[in-house]
Every structure is written in C-alpha cells, then in structure tokens.
Amino acid sequence: MLILSRKIGESLVIDGRILVKIVRVEGDVVKVGIQAPPDVPVHRQEVYEEIQRNNQEALTRPGQGLPKLPRKLPPGSTQNSALTLTPVPA
C-alpha cells in the first residue's frame, strides 16, 4: 500500500485518468473529491463490498430463475394492449 501525505487542496493522480483531491478536513474526517471517467466505478469500500456480496448471492442462490412471462394472448386479442393496429389497404 502506498501512503502519501496531502494537505487541503492538494491532489494525486491515478493512472493519468483519476484525480483524488483533499477537499476538507473536519476533525478526524477527511473529505475527498474524486474525478474519474464515467466508465470507472467509484464506491466507498462498504458499498463496494455489499455490491460484491449481492452479486455473489445472486450467482449462488438456488432456484432463483427469471420471472415467468404472462401467457401469449390469442391472435386478434387486444387485452392489456395499448396499441391497436388497423390494416391499411394496398
């Protein structure tokens, strides 16, 4: 683990794409600003761990399939349909 000292307003750059800036220090709490490209997910560690746990549970949970779709309506039925098609003469 790399350990750096930074003062308020100072930054560090990760991989030339991610900027981490010390914004404010309030007691023992440090406010950090992170500027990263949209394709780089940024999470607090506890949120990241919860996401990983949920993903793992979804992969290992037995019997959890996709929800059943409603049965197909007979031809010509417009029940539960917001669209009605009218034939156009050729």
**pLDDT tens sequence across 42-73:** 999 999 999 999 998 888 877 666 777 887 77
| Structure tokens that stand for 63 in this block | 């019997």
Contacts for 70 with CB less than 8 Å, ≥ 6 apart: 80
In this predicted model, which residue has the larger pLDDT, 90 or 65? 65
First to last CA, the chain: 73
* Beta carbons of 49 and 30 less than 8 angstroms apart: no
- pLDDT for 71 equals 77
pTM of the model: 0.60
The kind and range of the H/E element at 54 are helix 45-60
Residue of 78 and 20 predicted with greater confidence? 20
